[in-house]
Structures are given as C-alpha cells and as structure tokens.
Structure 1
C-alpha cells in the first residue's frame, strides 16, 4: 500500500511539474513576442503547439498570418488556426472565417467563411456575430434570411459592438426581419452613436419619425425607465433586452 501511495504522489508531482514547465514556456514565448523577439516566441511555442496546446497553436497562426517571422506563410497560418479552431479556440475560428472570406492562405469560400464565423458566433464572438448577420442579410455563404440577420445583429449588439447596434437600430426602424419598433431603434442608435460618432446620423434618422414623447422615452435610457415612465407594454415586449443588457453592463447610466 505504501509503495502504491508513493507511486501515486510521484505521478501527481511529475504531472504538476510538467504543467508548470509548459505554462512557463508559453509565458516565455509571450514575453518574447511582447518584446518584439518573434523568433524566440516561435521557438517557445512550436513544441507546445505540436503537443496540442491550443493557445500556442493560435499564436503560431498569428505569427504566420501577420508575417512576423522570416519564414511566415499564410498556409501555415491556416494550418495552426485550424488546429486551434477545432479545439474550440474562438479567435482562431473567427480568424479562419476571415481567411476563407478573403481567400488568404486558402481557396476563397463564402460557405466556409460563414461556417467558421458561425462557430465563433455561437461561442460569443461579437465581430463573428456581426459578420454572420451580414452574411444572412446578403445571402452570402448561406441562404438569405432577414430574420436571422436581425437575430444575430441583436446578439452582437448585446455584446456591445457599435456597428451591430447601428444595424439593429436600422432593422428595427424599418421593420426588416423583426417587428418595427422605433423606440428600441432609437435606444440602440443612442448606444451606437455614443460609442462611435459616425452613427449619430442613424439616431437622427430614427428620431425623424418619432414624436417628442417617444424621443423622451428613448433619451431616458437605461431601458428599465420604460417601465417607470408608464410604458408597461414596451417593458413587457423588451424585458429580455433589459436582462441581457444588464448582464453585459452596456445600459446607459442613469
């Protein structure tokens, strides 16, 4: 029994030491990259990536994709991104979507681009969610669907991407793929325009169709004020917006 326990603890100790060495090697590579020594970073990450370290695989992809090493290759970038993406690395999935969308290091394919964007979108990547929405809107790489486009604009908006918030404001304003709702269009346009002044024009566009009373409701964001100012129907229709926005801390301060 004593010999078994010694073997057990030696095995645990060996595993712990191995994990510490691997972690140290990855951090050494990260420190080298931050210092601009990409060759050292590559040499630290390569054996880890070959052993299946998903973060090392992703960063090797970056070194190749951004041509930060002398032997950089877009094909190698795709290779390492693919290994990381198949292990559910969300940024690798998104970057693969870009590669297929642009045909860099791989044959251009809107279908493959959509597939990888969609994987990243389902893993919560805001830019991927926005790209998925655009591809549904345009019918590119996937069957056209305004309803799906609106759904993914909403998901990306909840993740606080201003471009998505602006597009969600537009589809709510026009009632494309989603029920027309000027008040919510105005609220999302406010969020977008406060993050990026390019979207002020969208807020002004939506405001043109609104009464002064409706604009006051929108200007009174955060959304919980819809209930306090006596608009229970709006509250009922959009309580899920409120919950999701609170969770993501993107509601305007009172």
Structure 2
C-alpha cells in the first residue's frame, strides 16, 4: 500500500472518528435535554394535578433532578416553591439560591423574582438598588411584572434616582402588556394627580381595563367614579355593578354598597341588605364600617339597640386608630354602657383620640381637667386642651377660653384676650358667644358701644333659633334701645319662638296684643298668651293677666283664676299683686270685703317699695 493511500485511509478514519464523537455529543445532549424536559414536565403535572393528584413534594423532587441537570426553568420553579413553602418548608435562602442560578442564565422571571426578594428583604437584607438592577434585566426582556416594578421604582425614587418620565414609560409598557397592577397603578396616578396632571377620564380608562381583568381595587374605583360622576357620567346602577363585583373581598366596596342600599341610590332601600354589607365590610377591617356599625348598635338605628355590640365595634375601630370610635368608646366606659364603668380606661381612650386630633376628645380632656372629674382640677392643662381644639376653630373651645380669661381662672384676667376668643367663637356660629358679643356692644362693656352691631349679633343668634336672643332683640325694637322703636318687628321676632312655649315670649306677645302695638289689638289673644305664660309660673304674666281681667276690657272675668294668679304672684313676692289684691279686699270687689286683710297686703307691698301701697296706707288707715 502506497504512502498516499495510507494517508488517505488515516484521514478518512480521523474524520469518521470526529463524526462519531460529534454524534455522541449530540446524542448525549439530546438525551440530556429530553431528560431535563421530561423531568420538568413530570414536575409540572404534579404541581398542577394533571393526570395525578396534586403533589408539591413529588413535583419538587422532579424539579431538583431537572435543575441539577441545568434547567433554568426548574431552578426558577424551585425558587418559587421554596419562597412559598410548597412541597418543602419555606426557605428564603434556598429560594434566593435557585433564583440566582436561573437569573444568571438570563431567565426573565427569575431575574424579577430575585429583584423582588431584594426589594422585600426575603432571605437577604433589604437592598432596593440591587432590586432595581435585576428588575431592569428582566424588564429589558419584556417581562411585564418587572416593567411594573421598575417603573414604580423610577416613579417613586426607590433604589434609583427619581425619574417620573422613565417610570411612567416602564409602567405604560407593562400596562400595554396587559399587566393588571400597572393598569391600576397608572389609573390611580391620574386619579390622584400624583406627579402628573390629574385626569379622571384617563384614570377611568385604565381602571376599566384593570377592572375587566378582575382587579378588585380597580372595580372599587370604577364604582366610586360612577357613584360620584367623576370622569364619567354619574350612573348609580353601574356603580352598584362594580361595587358588587369587588365587595366580597374589598371592604371599602362593601361599605359604599351598604350606603347605597341604605339611601336607595340606584336600588330600592333595603336596610337589611345594607346592614349585612356593613357587617361584611366591618369584618374586613374597614374602619369606616366598624365605626358606623358600632353607631347603629349604639343608637338602635334600624337594628335593636345593643350597647355591648356597639362597644365591641368601637373597640375594633379604635384599635385601628379611629379617633371617633376611641372617643365614643370612652363615653361608654364613663357611663358603663355595654362595658363595665371604668374611668381610667375612658381617660386613656379620650387621651388617645385627643392626641390624634379629635376635637370632641380634646374638649373632653379639657373638661376633665377643668372640672376635676376623677382627677385634680388643673386649669392649665384644661387650657392646653381647649387651645388644641380652638386651633381647629372649635367654637365651644373658643368660648371656654374666653370665659377662662374673662374670669381669670389660674391666668391673669385679660378682657381683650377674652373678647378675641368670644369673637372667633361667635364668628364660628357659637350662639352663647354671639350673645356675649351682642351684650358687650349693647352695653359698651369690653367693646365700644355700638347698638347696630349688637342688633347684628343678636340677629345671628335669632337666626339659629335662640330664645334669649329673640327676647333681647325684641326688647331692643320694642323699647327703641339704640334704634327707632319698631313694635311690628318686635312682634315678629317674639313670634318666631312661640313654638318653643317659652313663657317670656308668650308674655311679650300677649302684652303687644293687649296694647295693640305692632299688631291689631286683640284682648282675647292677649288673655290667651298671658294665661299660657301664667300657667308656667311667670309672675309678671300672672299679674298682667289679673290686671287685664279686672279692667273694663273684659266683660266676664274669671275671678277664681284672677285671685289664684294674684295669690301665686304674691307667694313669689310680687309687690304690685299684693296691692291689687289688697284693693279688691278693701272695696269688696268680686271678694268678701276684708279691710284687715287689705291692710296686711298693703303693708307687705309698701315694705317692698311699691309707692301706691304706701300712699293708700297713709290716706286710708
């Protein structure tokens, strides 16, 4: 065999050998790939319960074989299982290890998962910067979850320099990929106008897309927008539809839906269903629902009154930081309603609510220290709490501070300061403060005399239905104090409060009818109003009713009533009534003549300074 022939055979043999080796390698890889895929498929079947009962432990075993063989998908899935504790005890360190193996092979989901572990300090110290690094790797592979996480990080400056435009860009990419969280979050940004111009129409569009994908938060917001006509035409029916979609898991939706059933918005009023929804929301830890549920039980509003249940729900809401509930529960501990009476517990609750800015609780704390309720009187602490409430423009606190500085209670008297507080309280609608300011202007004390301003402030109090103001303002017009007499106006003002059955107003109206001032004279109406006032024990009305009946204006006076009213007035020390009854006994008018009794009555009247009685004693006896 020639050398050339031998060389050719050698080359052929070498080539054959190489081909064989390549074939073996390819065959091995094919077998290996098939093994990896087979083990991964078996694991998937056990995880999903396809063809076999669901068994996470067996799934993990197959995944471990596939992962050991180098499958990045298996490594990622093992990370998920260890993170969630599926088929093995939860182990964040092992989860991190498997995520890293897959992430380093450019597995997008593993890169996102790894970023999330750094973001939330699971298995590693919290590291937002490292989280962003992995989110970016995954986002660049078009992973919508990572795009959302990265967009959120840029938008809020978490783990990276804040960049609104870049953040919004990634968020929109995620939303375009149909990622629900991104759709909802962008909607919320437009709804609130957070770092971008508020645009409720755009918000509605994003919420709607997320809502149709089953996002309960988005469904809730759609309900809110339809209910209030925000970004869309108001439509209670659609609001109810979206609230109902999310109400089983979204407590705020259940609460809003309860209000709609209670008020009959888009549905027939249904208190029972509203109450069930309210309970669902309260059980879902909705603070508003817990407060309102407690309130319903407390007042017995459409449910049987139950103080114990009221206290239970007030307590639930108070523990979540609801200051209204803390205050109400404090009142229940004071009164021993639904709970055992416990001042110390009440004090703690009042203090908690007051420190959280609840005005009613601040007033309560002030009152406790001011009056010394189960604690030593401390006007300085009372002033501190009144001041906190006053800083919130609470008129009751402003009035109290005015009284404290007016009277100099543990502080130097300061009329100017007192008037300043009264003025603010009056401007805030506090009737008592309005009366004080009016009286200051009328008398010229603490403020320059100004009847016109006095009338203005009395009128404000009258407009709030205050009887004292009606009497004062009516007298100003009737007597022409600082203004022209105006009996008609006086009559109108007095008449405003007649429905209150106030004796002083009844007397004032009765006298105007008797004299025909500001109204046509009408003796019967005068007698009627004077009698009503007299029956309430108003001495001046008893006397004036008697005088009217004894005048020649009444043809058939009821002398039994006249004598009775005069005697009642005399018991209350009315000198003129003593004189009138004395005259009746002296002359025997409508009574048996009794000069001795008449003299006694004249003497009593004279001793009280009634000059007519003194005169008759001198001239007759």
Q: Cα–Cα, structure 1 residues 138 and 212, in superposed 2: closer, same or farther, change >3 Å?
A: closer
Render the CA deviation track for 1:206-254: whole Å, top value 9, x for unaligned.
44653585357xx8xxxxxxxxxxxxxxxxxxxxxxxxxxxxxxxxxxx
The whole-number CA distance in structure 2 between the counterparts of 1:127 and 1:143 is: 20
2:405 corresponds to which of 97, 100, 103? 100
The whole-number CA distance in structure 1 between the counterparts of 2:342 and 2:377 is: 14
The whole-number CA distance in structure 2 between the counterparts of 1:206 and 1:212 is: 7
SS at match of 1:49: helix
Please tell me whether Structure 1 or Structure 2 has the larger radius of gyration of its CA atoms. 2
Q: Cα–Cα, structure 1 residues 213 and 68, in superposed 2: closer, same or farther, change >3 Å?
A: closer
CA root-mean-square deviation: 3.3
Paired position in structure 2 for 1:46: 351
Question: Does the Cα contact within 8 Å between 1:97 and 1:115 map onto a contact in 2?
Answer: yes
Paired position in structure 2 for 1:197: 503
The whole-number CA distance in structure 1 between the counterparts of 2:518 and 2:398 is: 45
Distance apart, 1:19 and its partner CA: 9.1
Q: Output aligned runs, 1:107-118, within 5 Å.
A: 107-118=412-423
Distance apart, 1:199 and its partner CA: 4.1
SS at match of 1:88: coil
Distance apart, 1:2 and its partner CA: 5.1
Q: Cα–Cα, structure 1 residues 97 and 141, in superposed 2: closer, same or farther, change >3 Å?
A: same
Paired position in structure 2 for 1:138: 443
The whole-number CA distance in structure 1 between the counterparts of 2:331 and 2:519 is: 54
The whole-number CA distance in structure 1 between the counterparts of 2:512 and 2:406 is: 32
Moved more, 191-200 or 130-139: 191-200
Q: Cα–Cα, structure 1 residues 19 and 32, in superposed 2: closer, same or farther, change >3 Å?
A: closer
The whole-number CA distance in structure 2 between the counterparts of 1:84 and 1:158 is: 25
1:160 corresponds to which of 465, 488, 492? 465
The whole-number CA distance in structure 2 between the counterparts of 1:197 and 1:39 is: 44
Question: Does the Cα contact within 8 Å between 2:441 and 2:447 map onto a contact in 1?
Answer: yes
Distance apart, 1:81 and its partner CA: 0.6
Q: Could you say which structure has the greater relative contact order, defined with CA pairs below 8 angstroms and 6 or more residues apart? A: 1
SS at match of 1:176: coil
Question: Does the Cα contact within 8 Å between 2:474 and 2:494 map onto a contact in 1?
Answer: yes
1:125 corresponds to which of 426, 430, 440? 430
Render the CA deviation track for 1:86-131: whole Å, top value 9, x for unaligned.
1111211122222222222432222222211211111111121111
Paired position in structure 1 for 2:375: 70
Q: Cα–Cα, structure 1 residues 39 and 154, in superposed 2: closer, same or farther, change >3 Å?
A: same
The whole-number CA distance in structure 2 between the counterparts of 1:65 and 1:215 is: 52
Q: Output aligned runs, 1:74-93, within 5 Å.
A: 74-93=379-398
Paired position in structure 1 for 2:555: none
Paired position in structure 1 for 2:94: none
The whole-number CA distance in structure 2 between the counterparts of 1:38 and 1:140 is: 42
Paired position in structure 2 for 1:21: 321
Question: Does the Cα contact within 8 Å between 1:183 and 1:214 map onto a contact in 2?
Answer: no
Paired position in structure 2 for 1:31: 332
Paired position in structure 2 for 1:238: none
The whole-number CA distance in structure 2 between the counterparts of 1:214 and 1:82 is: 52
1:56 corresponds to which of 351, 361, 380? 361
Question: Does the Cα contact within 8 Å between 2:363 and 2:385 map onto a contact in 1?
Answer: yes
SS at match of 1:187: helix
SS at match of 1:21: coil
The whole-number CA distance in structure 2 between the counterparts of 1:121 and 1:159 is: 12
Distance apart, 1:201 and its partner CA: 4.0
SS at match of 2:468: helix
1:147 corresponds to which of 443, 446, 452? 452
* TM-score, scaled to structure 1: 0.71
The whole-number CA distance in structure 2 between the counterparts of 1:84 and 1:209 is: 49
